[in-house]
Chains A and B, each alone.
Chain A
Amino acid sequence: MSSRRPLALIVAAVLLAVLLILPVGHGSYFIYLLCSWLMFTIAAMGLNLTLGYAGRISLAQASFMGVGAYTTAILTLHGWPWLAAAPVGVLLCFVVGLLLGFPALRVRGHFLAFVTLAFNTLFFLVARNEDWLTGGSYGLSDIPRPRIGPISADGQLAFYYFTLAVSALAILALWGIVRSPWGRAFKALRENEVRAESLGLDTRRITLLAFAIGSAFGGLAGAIEAPLVQYIEPNSFAVGESLKVLLMVVVGGLGDFWGPALGAAMVVLLPEALRGTRYYLIVYALFVIALMVLKPTGLMGIGKTFLARLAKSRAAAATEAKP
């Protein structure tokens, strides 16, 4: 494992380099898509921590994006800098996530799914009805883009690099969490709770933490969404969006570190690829059904199977060549 880590770092560096040069020469629409892909990747990676690693489902990720987005929007509209506003949003999500984790101590699986789904709908109602705070169904507009010292992320390309930097840091942090004792505890919780407990893990604390950290990442995604779209309204954080994030996680590959990035790419970019055909949502739905039925491990699963086959045939070729 340790021998592979330098290679992993190299691949990460190459990927980062690709992402750095990618937008050059492209129109702002493409850059906008990349930003929204990065944003959804963060949200989906957060959910993947709760769901894929710790095995606790949440259908409320969009509401955390909402908490993050509204907090950032309201504070920056009041003149706060993004760098001060976003952490407040993320922290708030951490706390609310912690609270939403409590039901997870009592119920599992589908029941937990419904509790979190109900929570998301309640959030939507509050965001729509409390005009004084959230602007109600008119939403909040003209949200400023971040400005750090003399550097302004006002332009499309500048904002992309800002998003990329934030995402890279967030992913790095997540990478650290997954590899930390906490990360191992999350996995132990998913695999076998009783055993985890017998090994001396405080499963209550770990469950709550899994929720809180996953939610905080949702909040960060929201903190990016607010200045990206520069307009937020309740429908952007309704249950449908949570299901979309869940789709990204599962389609990408549940419990796989990079799966959510891939799933987010599919959800954000596939409609773009299929545009022009009148039936693109139908094709999209059929594709997802087929993928889930034939390959429940998702896109990463397909990729892995493919690579494994490749390695196997290469190994076979090598042994054949030997004698």
Chain B
Amino acid sequence: MSQFLQVVLSGLSTGSIYALAAVGFALVWQAAQTVNFAQGEFVMLPAFFALVAIHWFGWPLWAGFAFAMLASLAILGLAFKGLVVQPMMPDGGLPLVIATMAVSILLKESVKTFYGAEAQPFPSPLPDGTLQIGGAVISIRDLFDLLASLAVVGGLTLFLDRTRTGRQMQAAAQSPAVAEILGVDVARMTLYAFLVNAALAAFASFLVSPTYLAKFSNGESLGLVAFIAAIVGGFNRIRGALVGGLLVGVLDNLVATYVTQEYRAALPLVLLIAVILWRPQGLLGDAEGRTV
């Protein structure tokens, strides 16, 4: 029983990181029909921005995080939207998919060439301790990851549902033409989606890197998991992506513990196929949302 609790708790914590990546992915997908194959790299990169500030410029921790957040907003938000996605709108289609794949190669190779190929330790402002919960052990960082992700996704949901800007963002994503007529600045709302995605990616990066280290290739598996989480949960609802992320994190651990290690990666994929074929709006999604 304590083993069960242990792997579920750990899975929730890992899943919360997946959820952050998945939420951003879903936002960008909705806002600009962009399936971002570089999403995993978007989570990998901000940690290196912080490392550059801390180790190369000799800045303190908080300044490093602030710098990384700003750099992410500028490069993963503004530049990605302005230089890659915008010129290919409104109907990016496959060339846009290919372009995001190339972006993923570019980010990986740049980090490897200009910072290093080896995994790097990453500082955390949080203490190292652990807590006992009914026979299972959870580290303070894991617990913080989980709560912080829940808070961020909760806050984001409130923002999208309760604020004027948030509602405009949703309207712009669901039917840009109608939104335009109603006086919504669709281009600006789309930009916001990209900025929110960049901020979420940076935040996920700060949370994940102290435990899982910073490495140029970290995005490879993370990106795929983010897709799966977003689709399984339901990409047109933010909380869908959250649930998807947590579900994938927990299932992965349960399968590895009780069923098979060799095929632990298979279950999320099977789930993905099943959801797409029989419930394409996702477990928590609404059927009315825009289908892609």
B179 located at the interface, meaning its Cβ lies under 8 Å from any Cβ of chain A in the complex: no
* 276-309 of chain A: CB within 8 A of chain B: 278-279, 281-282, 284-286, 288-289, 292-294, 296, 298
- B98 part of interface (Cβ distance < 8 Å): yes
Assuming the contacts A285-B103, A286-B106, asked whether A121 and B265 have C-beta atoms less than 8 A apart, the reply is yes
Within 8 Å by CB of B109, from A247, A282, A296, lies A282
Q: A113 on the interface (CB 8 Å rule)?
A: yes
* Residues 55-98 of chain B, each 1 if its beta carbon lies under 8 Å from chain A, else 0: 00000000000000000000000000001100110000111111
From 231 to 277 in chain B, residues with beta carbon under 8 angstroms from any chain A beta carbon are 231, 262-263, 265-266, 269-270, 272-273, 276-277
How far does the alpha carbon of A161 sit from the alpha carbon of B173 in the complex, in Å?
Answer: 54
Chain A residues closer than 8 Å to B132, beta-carbon distance: none
Of the 9-residue stretches A31-39, A76-84, A103-111, A216-224, which lies at the interface with chain B? A103-111
Check if B95 sits within 8 Å of A103, measured CB to CB: no
- A113 pairs with B35, CB closer than 8 A: yes
In the complex, the answer to whether B227 meets A243 with C-beta atoms within 8 Å is: no
> Any chain A CB within 8 A of the CB of B280?
yes
Judging by beta carbons under 8 Å apart, are A110 and B35 in contact?
Answer: yes
How many of A's residues come within 8 Å of B, CB to CB?
40
A107 interface neighbour in B94, B99, B277, Cβ under 8 Å: B277
A293 pairs with B277, CB closer than 8 A: no
- Look across to chain B and name the residue whose beta carbon is closest to the beta carbon of A239: B224
Contact B96 A292 (CB under 8 A): yes
- Picked from B87, B94, B231, B263, the residue with its CB within 8 Å of the CB of A250 is B94
> Is B113 touching A288 in the complex (CB atoms < 8 A)?
no
**Residue in A125, A278, A296 whose beta carbon sits within 8 Å of that of B95 in the complex:** A296
* A297 closest partner in B (C-beta): B95
Give the residue name and chain of the A residue nearest to B261 (CB): A129
Confirm or deny: A228 has a beta carbon within 8 angstroms of a beta carbon on chain B: no
**Given A246-B98, A250-B95, A251-B98, CB of A122 within 8 Å of CB of B88:** no
In this assembly, does B102 line the interface, its C-beta being within 8 Å of a C-beta of chain A? yes
Chain A: minimal CB distance from B232 (Å):
10
Residue A254, interface by CB 8 Å? yes
Which residue of the partner chain, among B37, B106, B228, contacts A285 with CB atoms under 8 Å?
B106
Cβ contact within 8 Å between B263 and A282 = no
Q: Tell me whether B273 and A282 are in contact (CB under 8 A).
A: no
Q: At the interface, yes or no: B110 with Cβ under 8 Å from chain A?
A: yes
Q: Is the CB of B277 within 8 A of A106?
A: yes
Interface residues of A, Cβ cutoff 8 Å to B: 51, 57, 103, 106-107, 109-111, 113-115, 117-119, 121-122, 125, 128-129, 239, 243, 246-247, 250-251, 254, 278-279, 281-282, 284-286, 288-289, 292-294, 296, 298
- Knowing that A118-B228, A118-B270, A121-B266 are A-B contacts, what are 8 other residue pairs whose CB atoms are under 8 Å apart, sorted by A's residue number? A103-B277, A106-B280, A107-B276, A111-B280, A122-B266, A247-B98, A247-B101, A289-B102
Of the A-B pairs whose beta carbons lie under 8 Å apart in the complex, a sample of 15, sorted by A's number, is: A103-B276, A103-B277, A106-B280, A107-B280, A111-B231, A114-B272, A119-B273, A122-B266, A122-B269, A278-B113, A281-B109, A285-B109, A288-B98, A288-B105, A289-B102
